[in-house]
Structure 1
Amino acid sequence: MGKWICRICGYVYDEEKEGKPFADLPDTWVCPLCGADKGSFAPEKEEAPKPPAASIQITEEMKQLSVGELSALCSNLARGCEKQYKDQEAALFRQLADFFDCAVPAVPDADIAKLSALIQGDLEEGYPALRGAAQQVSDRGTQRICVWGEKVTNILNSLVQRYQREGEAFLENTQVWVCTVCGFVYVGDKSPELCPVCKVPAWKFEKIEGRG
């Protein structure tokens, strides 16, 4: 009997305490704290993979951000200003984020499979490369961003996989909540009392409206 740990929120499934091996849980079982699926758990003794050595080379493509990337950047800067109680600066960055968001073009042939592939790419290549580069130059700020960002991306990956398995039934008679601080997404009747990633209280969550 061992223990399995959620990579997203840190919840521990203790097989001895629960009286049931983790492998015997149904595929539909999810983390009782953050809602992640079984695939987001790892054995307690599993060592975290070492990030590959990486170097950042600025290319012409990296010098010009898309309007979607600019929107995300300004939104993150707004949240950073909020945490430093710089309300005026936060409001200006939110205005910029909204401006760029309105200019984002529609993605042709967008579907859930393509979204899943993009998320997998971030988890398998993007975050390891970014973390490795940040460690090389001792950039603690970027390393902290990786901690939150990777957890949020992992829960998105988990939710997308559940949607692929269950379809629209996954979202019937429930709500979708987003943490306005770190971007954690939660599916349930009400938001968590504390965000499993950044630990802010429930009032920091916003309910996603307009789902048809």
Structure 2
Amino acid sequence: MAAEHTVRGLPRGKEGSLSVYICTVCGYDYDEAAGDPRHGIPPGTRWEDVPADWVCPVCGADKSMFENQGGKAETPAPAPMAAPAGQAAPQQGADAKRLSATASNLARAVQKQHRAGMADLFTQLADFFDGQSSPAGDWQTAADLLKEDLAGRYPAAFAAARADGDRGALRALNWGEKVGKIQANLLKRYNKEGDAAFEGSAFFVCEACGFIFVGEQAPEICPVCKVPRFKFARVGRGASA
């Protein structure tokens, strides 16, 4: 059963039991009884009455990323994204990009182990493969691939990790799935609003888990993996400012 609260003194038609909705990315709970006054949502505002452009105050996920505590949130599912017609992915360039990302991740991992020499070698490998890659697809293609990951690949990977009792893999998958959700969310906003979606905002990426935050400054702690602010790197235009 969903968590419910009874609030007295609400306007006519607002009496009764109120529910709690949980952000599936960071765990923030929207309590209908409390609302979100800091962002213009008064106490007693039911989920269906929360404006469509409201986003999670912690991680920036939109309403589609929330679930009713105890069940799915009653938010209309986004329209399916049509797959690009007649577009073949350049396999060689895509493979090089994946290898570059893998080498870059390994460089970060061994750097944390204070193995500077090996980190330098992995960085050189990452740079080499990055030079062999070429941009593939577009925003829509990326959105489609993320949708496939979240709908099929992550559930399959979770099942395999649970079957093996691999707690490390489960933790990594948990982080990866949450990061994938916020990436899909940001792409959806961009596809809908274009450059105006993030006008005046900066992008910050958590170097530990890959979470992307859009705003004036990085959050105090990562909503996904809980590392402190200094683990965030500003990316994009003005990143060195």
TM-score range, shorter chain: 0.7 to 0.9
Secondary structure of 2:30 counterpart: strand
2:123, 2:61 → 1: CA distance? 30
Partner of 2:122: 93
Alpha-carbon distance in structure 1 between the residues aligned to 2:108 and 2:45: 42
| Partner-residue secondary structure (3-state), 1:17 | coil
Aligned partner of 1:70 in structure 2 is 99
Deviation per CA, 1:30-72: give whole Å up to 9, x if none: 000001111111011128xxxxxxxxxxxxxxxxx92122112
State the SS of the aligned residue for 2:25.
Answer: coil
RMSD (CA atoms): 1.8
CA distance in 2, matches of 1:201, 1:125: 32
Report deviation, 1:78: 2.5
CA contact (8 A) 1:37 1:162 kept: no
Find the partner of 1:41 among 66, 75, 87.
66
Deviations 1:108-141 (A, max 9, x none): xx22221111110000011111111122222222
SS of equivalent to 1:10: coil
* TM-score, scaled relative to structure 1: 0.84
**Residue 142 of structure 2 aligns with which residue?**
115
SS in 1 for 2:196: helix
Cα distance in 1 between the residues matched to 2:120 and 2:53? 41
- Report the secondary structure of 1:199's partner residue: coil
The residue number in structure 2 matching 1:179 is 206
- Whole-angstrom distance in 1 between the partners of 2:127 and 2:211: 20
Pairs aligned (count): 192
Q: Shift of residue 93 of structure 1? A: 2.3
Q: Which runs of 5+ in 1 are unaligned?
A: 48-64
Larger radius of gyration: 2
2:77 corresponds in structure 1 to none
| 127-136 vs 73-82, greater mean Cα deviation | 73-82
Q: Distance in 2 between matches of 1:4 and 1:90?
A: 43
1:5 pairs with one of 22, 35, 44: 22
In the other structure, the counterpart of 2:51 is 26
Give secondary structure in 2 for the equivalent of 1:31. coil
SS of the equivalent of 2:71 reads coil
Cα distance change of structure 1 residues 173 and 139 upon mapping to structure 2, 3 Å threshold: same
Which residue is 1:159 aligned to?
186
CA deviation profile, 1:132-156 (whole Å, cap 9, x unmatched): 1122222222212101100100000
- How far apart, in 2, do the equivalents of 1:137 and 1:74 lie? 26
- Cα offset, 1:85, TM superposition: 4.1
Tell me whether 1:145 sits opposite 2:155 in the alignment. Answer: no
Change (3 A) 1:13 1:150: same
Q: Distance in 2 between matches of 1:210 and 1:103?
A: 24
